[in-house]
């Protein structure tokens, strides 16, 4: 099993960061210092560089912070942790099958199916889906420990204590873990009514392991065990809801679609998920799936009929098949009942697949009893696993990088605007802004009422220098959502640069009214106040930005500019150095700090700083010009000539280029 798992997933270790990885890991300053770990448990906004994406997942952030401490931005280390968690979840599926009466061969089959199923590639490969696998490990461990405690009276209390602790860990990894008490209550209900109908039974398998059924310890246990031992789980769930009630209210207060539409859509999604489980050949990060507005639509009716038929068949079969079917459905409910932006997602099947794989392992155990020697059953299963290995290997190749991922998504779902929008993001990160522009425009055509495509289109136009077009795109985004803080702030930045300070002021006031905890809005307000020559207010705004987000390099840089203008060179230099510590490629900070050094007679320090700058910020050609100036100050005339020439070779134009040519003539 380990060899098959490695063969299927090993190539994914070289895959890049993708999708939500950028805002939650790559650009997230909160995970870069272990000293911030205590705040993970009290500040959901630390989940992302964007406070609007706040989520209470402190244990997930702890794993990211540890990864960053060891591996920094090296993606392989993050992927090793993801695969290790997938391996741990696989082992827990093995243990769950044993606890439900399976023999070792059945448990190994269940674990192998879970480990190699292509639908689990997203949770195992995509780093941001670590929340799913981490929470699943805790939920499965809590289940296994609970079932074990039912059979181990002398050690029951320690096992149950560990189980409750695992439940708490699951909640601190992802809120969907809250379904665990319902799973346990379902087990207790099944235990009283389902054992007699069980068709697997306890027997000694051909591997010598006896599958043991939990028949209870005593009549006293049958009457009082659930009330006594389920209470801690309910208390932990209640505590989680109380602590995170504000975040939950904010998340559910303005659903992305009406609940009835969500219900009809997820009924259709139930049948679609069955297809993905039994025919995993059309997988995608963005499935071509649409919302359903009525229960009378043919796909909804057909899906409902299919699900009701399946429920009837499983109920008739009874026993562990019924229990595991209910577990799979319940595990899917949190994501299905909550209106989320993405209608269907493969990683949502991670825990349900654990139940399905366990049922398959137990079913294989029954088939071996009917198949003399079990050779035909074993052969069929081995052939299926070989196909799974190939499909999983091919799926991990799709997740190689953003371009392969979103190109595949557009190919499979050409009508899904999010696929085009994220393909545009992939083009932007490659530096191909014109291609990104076309992808964003296609996204706006497919979803003209959506905010994010217009906002991204504005960003791309701004990079290309089309400031008028960028402002139009931001205004389009604000027409669709007047409270879009990102669009408000970016439009205010454009207007500030254009000198339209009054309108920029109004936009920033609205942004801070909508959400006063957005650090970038305070940053832009500081820039605006400086343009308005209201320096004391600018300093307050920049300090507010740093209070909300201490790792914001731009705020340190702008505060340095303010201090520089006031003549406080020592504090200004400290602010610039902090900006460079946070962003070693910050070209503007190198320029301004070097200018400060030159102005205070520290030309040698300026040379050293600028030599570091041209290595770390190759996209800022002005560093070469200033390096030439600093080298002239220190008498390094040949080096200065070389630096001026490098500046010109990078396509410099305008007065700076003329100044460089003049210095070259003078030095010759």
Taken as a whole, the chain contains a residue count of 668
> DSSP secondary structure string, 9-72?
HGGGGG----TTHIIIIIT-GGGG-GGGHHHHTT-GGGGSSSGGG----HHHHHHHHHHHHHHT
What's the pLDDT at 377?
A: 72
The number of angstroms, rounded, from the C-alpha of 177 to the middle of its chain's C-alpha atoms is 17
At 399, give phi and psi (nearest 5°): -85, 15
Alpha carbons 197 and 200: distance in angstroms, whole number:
9
Mean pLDDT within 265-293: 91
Largest CA distance in the chain: 101
CA distance 109 to 374: 13
Classify 482-565 by CATH class. Answer: mainly alpha
pLDDT at position 204 is 42
Segment among 471-475, 488-492, 661-665 with least mean pLDDT: 661-665
Residue 145 has pLDDT above 60, yes or no: yes
Q: What is the mean pLDDT of residues 483-487?
A: 91
Number of Cβ atoms within 10 Å of the Cβ of 1: 16
Q: Around Cβ 123, how many Cβ atoms within 10 Å?
A: 26
CB pairs under 8 A, 24+ apart, for 454-458?
Answer: 454/480, 454/487, 455/484, 455/486, 455/487, 455/490, 456/421, 456/424, 456/425, 458/487, 458/490, 458/491
How many separate helices (H) and strands (E) can be counted in the chain? 34, 0
Sorting pLDDT into bands at 50, 70 and 90, what band is 45? confident
Query: Is the pLDDT confidence value at 113 over 80?
Result: yes
Q: Enter the tokens of residue 557.
A: 């840089």
More confident residue, 488 or 14: 488
More confident residue, 245 or 342: 342
| Secondary structure letter of residue 653 according to DSSP | -
Please state the rounded mean pLDDT for residues 161-165. Answer: 95
The beta strands (E) that lie in 183-261 are given as: none
Q: Is the pLDDT of residue 226 over 70?
A: no
Please state the three-class secondary structure of 466-529 as a single string: CHHHHHHHHHHHHHHCCCCHHHHHHHHHHHHHCCCHHHHHHHHHHHHHHCCCCHHHHHHHHHHH
Of the candidates 538, 579, 592, the one whose C-alpha atom is nearest the C-alpha of residue 562 is 538
CB 610 within 8 A of CB 639: no
Given pLDDT bands bounded at 50, 70 and 90, which one contains residue 212?
low
Find, among 432, 373, 371, the residue nearest to 402 by Cα: 432
Residues 6+ positions from 51 with CB-CB distance below 8 Å:
45, 515, 517, 518, 519, 548, 549
**Cβ contact 300:267 at 8 Å:** yes
If we measure between CA atoms, which residue out of 79, 91, 104 comes closest to residue 11? 79
- The span from the CA of 374 to the CA of 608, in Å, is 73
Give the pLDDT confidence score for residue 374 in this predicted structure: 62
For residue 196, what pLDDT band results from cuts at 50, 70 and 90? Answer: very low
**φ, ψ for residue 275 (rounded to 5)?**
-60, -45
Mean residue pLDDT of the chain comes to: 88
Alpha-carbon torsion (126, 129, 132, 133), positive or negative: positive
- DSSP assigned state of 77: H
- 397 by Cβ neighbours in 10 Å (0-12 / 13-18 / 19+) ranks as middle
CB < 8 Å & 24+ apart, contacts of 405-414: 405/18, 405/19, 405/285, 406/285, 406/286, 408/284, 408/285, 409/284, 409/285, 409/286, 412/282, 412/284, 412/286, 412/287, 412/288, 413/284, 413/286, 413/287, 413/288, 413/289, 414/288
Say if residue 13's pLDDT is above 70.
yes
CATH superfamily, domain 584-668, is Tetratricopeptide repeat domain (1.25.40.10)
pLDDT, tens digit, for every residue of 389-423? 899 999 999 999 999 999 999 999 899 999 999 99
What is the average pLDDT across 334-361? Answer: 91
**The pLDDT of residue 215 is above 60:** no
Q: Distance between CA 640 and CA 229 in Å, rounded?
A: 77
Least confident piece of the model among 93-102, 187-196, 498-507, 635-644? 187-196
- As given in the structure block, the two tokens for residue 660 are 């460089």
> How much is the average pLDDT of 443-466?
93
The domain ranges of the chain are: 2-255+354-398, 415-473, 482-565, 584-668
Tens digits of residue pLDDT in 499-549? 999 999 999 999 999 888 888 999 999 999 999 999 999 999 999 999 988
- Say what the pLDDT of residue 371 is: 58
Q: What does the pLDDT read at residue 370?
A: 59
Q: For domain 415-473, give the fold.
A: 1.25.40
Helix/strand/coil for 109: helix
pLDDT at position 219, please? 42
- Vertex 509, ends 503 and 511: CA angle to 5°? 105
Band (pLDDT 50/70/90 cuts) for residue 667 is confident
Rounded Cα distance between 100 and 111, Å, is 14
Please compute the mean of the pLDDT values over residues 33-54 and round it to a whole number: 87
- pLDDT computed for residue 222 by the predictor: 47
Structure token digits, residue 234:
């309910």
Enter the tokens of residue 630.
Answer: 């600093």
Whether the pLDDT of residue 203 is over 60: the answer is no
The H or E element spanning position 80 is helix 75-99
pLDDT at 207: 47
Q: In the predicted model, what is the mean pLDDT of residues 547-554?
A: 87
Q: Quick count: other Cβ atoms within 10 Å of Cβ 46?
A: 26
Question: If DSSP codes are grouped into helix, strand and coil, which group holds residue 204?
Answer: strand
Report percent pLDDT > 90 for the chain.
60
Domains 415-473 and 584-668 share a fold: yes
pLDDT score at 200: 45
Nearest partner of 250 among 43, 55, 61, 59, judged by Cα: 55
Beta-carbon count within 10 A of 197 CB? 15
Nearest of 195, 193, 185, 261 to residue 230 by alpha carbon: 185
Give 584-620 pLDDT, tens digit per residue.
999 999 999 999 999 988 999 999 999 999 999 988 8
CA R_g for the chain: 29
Answer yes or no: pTM beyond 0.85: no
Residue 157 is predicted with a pLDDT of 86
């Amino acid at each position: 099993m380990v060899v098959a798992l490695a063969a299927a997933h090993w190539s994914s270790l070289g895959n890049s960061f993708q999708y939500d990885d950028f805002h939650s890991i790559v650009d997230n300053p909160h995970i870069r210092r272990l000293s911030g770990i205590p705040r993970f448990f009290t500040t959901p906004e630390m989940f992302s560089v964007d406070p609007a994406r706040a989520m209470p997942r402190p244990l997930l952030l702890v794993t990211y912070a540890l990864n960053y401490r060891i591996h920094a931005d090296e993606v392989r280390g993050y992927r090793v942790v993801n695969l290790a968690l997938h391996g741990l979840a696989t082992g827990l599926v093995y243990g769950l099958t044993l606890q439900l009466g399976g023999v070792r061969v059945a448990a190994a089959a269940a674990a192998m199916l879970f480990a190699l199923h292509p639908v689990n590639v997203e949770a195992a490969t995509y780093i941001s889906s670590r929340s799913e696998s981490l929470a699943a490990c805790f939920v499965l461990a809590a289940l296994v420990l609970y079932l074990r405690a039912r059979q181990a009276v002398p050690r029951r209390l320690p096992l149950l204590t560990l189980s409750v602790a695992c439940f708490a860990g699951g909640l601190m990894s992802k809120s969907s873990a809250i379904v665990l008490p319902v799973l346990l209550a379902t087990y207790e209900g099944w235990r009283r009514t389902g054992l007699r109908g069980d068709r697997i039974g306890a027997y000694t398998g051909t591997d010598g392991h006896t599958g043991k059924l939990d028949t209870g310890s005593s009549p006293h246990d049958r009457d009082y065990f659930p009330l006594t031992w389920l209470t801690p789980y309910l208390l932990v769930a209640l505590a989680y809801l109380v602590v995170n009630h504000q975040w939950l209210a904010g998340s559910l207060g303005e659903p992305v679609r009406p609940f009835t539409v969500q219900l009809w859509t997820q009924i259709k999604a139930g049948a679609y998920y069955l297809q993905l489980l039994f025919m995993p050949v059309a997988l995608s990060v963005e499935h071509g799936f649409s919302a359903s507005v009525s229960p009378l639509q043919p796909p909804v009716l057909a899906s409902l009929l299919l699900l009701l038929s399946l429920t009837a068949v499983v109920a008739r079969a009874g026993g562990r098949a019924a229990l595991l079917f209910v577990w799979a459905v319940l595990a899917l409910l949190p994501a299905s009942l909550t209106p989320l932006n993405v209608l269907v997602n493969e990683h949502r099947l991670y825990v349900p697949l654990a139940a399905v794989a366990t049922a398959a392992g137990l079913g294989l155990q029954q088939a071996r009893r009917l198949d003399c020697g079990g050779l035909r059953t074993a052969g069929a299963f081995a052939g299926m696993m070989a196909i799974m290995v190939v499909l999983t290997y091919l799926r991990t190749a799709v997740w190689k990088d953003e371009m392969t991922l979103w190109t595949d998504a557009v190919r499979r779902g050409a009508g899904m605007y999010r696929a085009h929008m994220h393909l545009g993001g992939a083009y932007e990160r490659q530096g191909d802004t014109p291609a990104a522009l076309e992808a964003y425009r296609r996204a706006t055509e497919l979803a003209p009422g959506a905010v994010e495509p217009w906002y991204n289109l504005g960003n791309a136009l701004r990079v290309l220098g089309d400031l008028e077009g960028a402002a139009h795109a931001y205004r389009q985004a604000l027409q669709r959502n007047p409270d879009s803080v990102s669009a408000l702030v970016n439009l205010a930045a454009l207007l500030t640069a254009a000198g339209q300070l009054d309108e920029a002021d109004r936009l920033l006031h609205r942004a801070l009214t909508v959400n006063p905890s957005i650090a970038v809005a305070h940053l832009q307000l500081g820039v605006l106040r400086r343009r308005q020559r209201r320096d004391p207010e600018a300093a307050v705004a920049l300090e507010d930005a740093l209070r909300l987000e201490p790792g914001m390099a731009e705020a340190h840089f702008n505060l340095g500019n303010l201090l520089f203008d006031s003549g406080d060179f020592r504090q200004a230099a400290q602010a610039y150095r902090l900006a460079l510590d946070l962003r070693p490629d910050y070209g503007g900070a190198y320029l301004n700090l070097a200018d400060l050094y030159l102005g205070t007679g520290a030309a040698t320090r300026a040379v050293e700083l600028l030599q570091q700058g041209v290595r770390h910020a190759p996209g800022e050609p002005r560093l070469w010009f200033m390096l030439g100036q600093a080298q002239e100050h220190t008498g390094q005339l040949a080096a200065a000539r070389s630096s001026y020439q490098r500046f010109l070779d990078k396509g410099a134009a305008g007065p700076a280029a003329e100044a460089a040519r003049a210095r070259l003539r003078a030095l010759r």
